[in-house]
Amino acid sequence: MKVQEIVDLVKIRCPNIVVSTDNNAVINLINIAVIELYRRFNLKIKSETVVTTDDLALYTLRNNDVDMIVSVSDKFGREFKQSDTSDSMEYDYKLLNYRTILLRKPMEGYIYVIYKASPIALKDVNDEIDIPDAMLDALLTYISYMLSNTVNQDNKNEASMFYQMFEKKCQELDNQGYKVPLFMERPAIQVKGYV
């Protein structure tokens, strides 16, 4: 779905809230709503292959959409153990920040890093919104909540009502299986053309 379609739906859904004539304010609210849906439902899980050498242990992912590293595996699919404490010696890698890892033992070859990805920032009315169609109502409800909460501050009950509707819609989506688990099940790594 294009951003322009969401902008038009927002103007229809919230006719009594004055929105700026340019669409930048609404596009910013759409970005905030999409980020919230990505945060709640882990909508995009990706992987990056990192070439490793035996003289380097510190690696930063090249992709710009890294939100959080979920797991690290070797070329055989063996999952590395992450350090739970700073002084532990029982680990294969440590997270230094959201996109940088430190291997305990440098190794020659490559590793797979699976991570939760951020949404692409929307900048123009012709950009595509990357969410399932089933989340459209939740997206619009969250935007309505943000508009009511920021623009129409005299009526806090309306903002509260929209937020409760958003929570209900998110619960319905969760019940339908739209939430991707990050730590209970690991996404499979494809090795040699088969899983």
Q: What is the pLDDT of residues 25-74, one digit of tens each?
A: 889 999 999 999 999 999 999 999 999 999 999 999 999 999 999 999 99
Q: Where do the structural domains in the chain lie, given as residue ranges?
A: 3-42+119-175, 45-117
pTM beyond 0.75, yes or no: yes
Q: Give the model's pLDDT for residue 185.
A: 47
- Nearest CA among 120, 143, 137 for reference residue 171: 137
Q: Which residues of 45-69 are buried (b: 16+ CB within 10 A; e: fewer)?
A: bbbbebebeeeebebebeeeebbeb
Tokens of 106: 């440098």
53/56 Cα distance (integer angstroms): 6
